[in-house]
């Protein structure tokens, strides 16, 4: 029984977080971001094929002289429609797949503890062409939450969402800072909450 309990204990790299050192998202975040556009391409292709099949049957029923057989019409057009749908979507897919790894390697996070004269803050850097660096002091944080969507759960990662007073009161939608692609996202969230309570 004691062995089972020990195996369930999750030990995130909290030492690095406490020291304020930079840490990066999990490699699973990169894989997720590469997987999503491929799924989108498949979804677009599937939608076009369904439209072709549906349109063929409707056309055969409404305009029998033009489309005498729905199955024959589908067999004639399924390959060229599939080919050109894929080719057209490659124009956005290939640049996206090239960009994603560069974007992933640009991401840096730091959750700084209350040490010396350093103001406790959360730091995030991201950007390939335009680099954005955000410093969110703990005193401005109003809400912290964790989130794991369908694709996140598939890759065993999640994100921590941080909202601040000024940002949540503005017209902006969503959290001010998202620490995405973290394996131990709940532990990071709990660590931030603990530090926030100390600070307040």
Give the model confidence (pLDDT) of 69-119 as tens digits.
Answer: 778 878 888 899 999 999 999 999 999 999 999 999 999 988 866 554 455
Q: How far apart, in Å, are the Cα atoms of 200 and each of 10, 30, 117, 142, 197?
A: 27, 36, 16, 11, 5
pLDDT of residue 117: 46
Q: What is the mean pLDDT of residues 157-185?
A: 79
Instruction: Write the secondary structure of 57-97 as one string of H (helix), E (strand) and C (coil).
Output: HHHHHHCCCCCCCHHHHHHHHHHHHHHHHHHHHHHHHHHHH
Q: For residues 187 and 30, what is the distance between their CA atoms, to the nearest angstrom?
A: 21
Q: pLDDT per residue over 120-152, tens digit each?
A: 788 899 999 999 988 888 888 888 899 999 999
Q: What does pTM read for this prediction? A: 0.78
Q: Which helix (H) or strand (E) holds 195?
A: helix 185-199
Q: Which residues contact 73 (CB under 8 A, 6 or more apart)?
A: 56, 59, 60, 67
Q: Which helix (H) or strand (E) holds 126?
A: strand 121-126
CA angle 11, 16, 19 (to 5 degrees): 130
pLDDT of residue 6: 44
* 5-19, 37-51, 81-95, 181-195: least confident range: 5-19
pLDDT of residue 18: 46
Cβ atoms of 138 and 195 within 8 Å: the answer is yes
């Amino acid at each position: 029984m004691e062995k089972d309990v020990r195996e369930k204990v999750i030990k995130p790299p909290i030492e690095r977080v406490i020291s304020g050192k930079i840490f990066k998202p999990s490699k699973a975040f990169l894989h997720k971001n590469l997987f999503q556009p491929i799924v989108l391409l498949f979804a677009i292709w599937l939608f076009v094929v369904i439209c072709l099949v549906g349109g063929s049957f409707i056309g055969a029923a409404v305009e029998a002289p033009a489309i005498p057989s729905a199955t024959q019409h589908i067999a004639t057009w399924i390959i060229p429609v599939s080919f050109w749908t894929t080719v057209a979507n490659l124009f956005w897919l290939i640049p996206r797949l090239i960009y994603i790894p560069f974007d992933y390697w640009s991401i840096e996070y730091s959750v700084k503890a209350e040490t010396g004269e350093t103001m406790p803050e959360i730091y995030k850097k991201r950007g390939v062409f335009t680099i954005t660096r955000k410093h969110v002091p703990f005193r401005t944080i109003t809400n912290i939450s964790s989130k794991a969507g369908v694709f996140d759960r598939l890759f065993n990662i999640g994100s921590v969402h941080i909202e601040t007073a000024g940002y949540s009161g503005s017209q902006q939608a969503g959290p001010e800072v998202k620490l995405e692609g973290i394996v131990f996202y709940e532990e990071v969230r709990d660590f931030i909450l603990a530090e926030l309570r100390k600070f307040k």
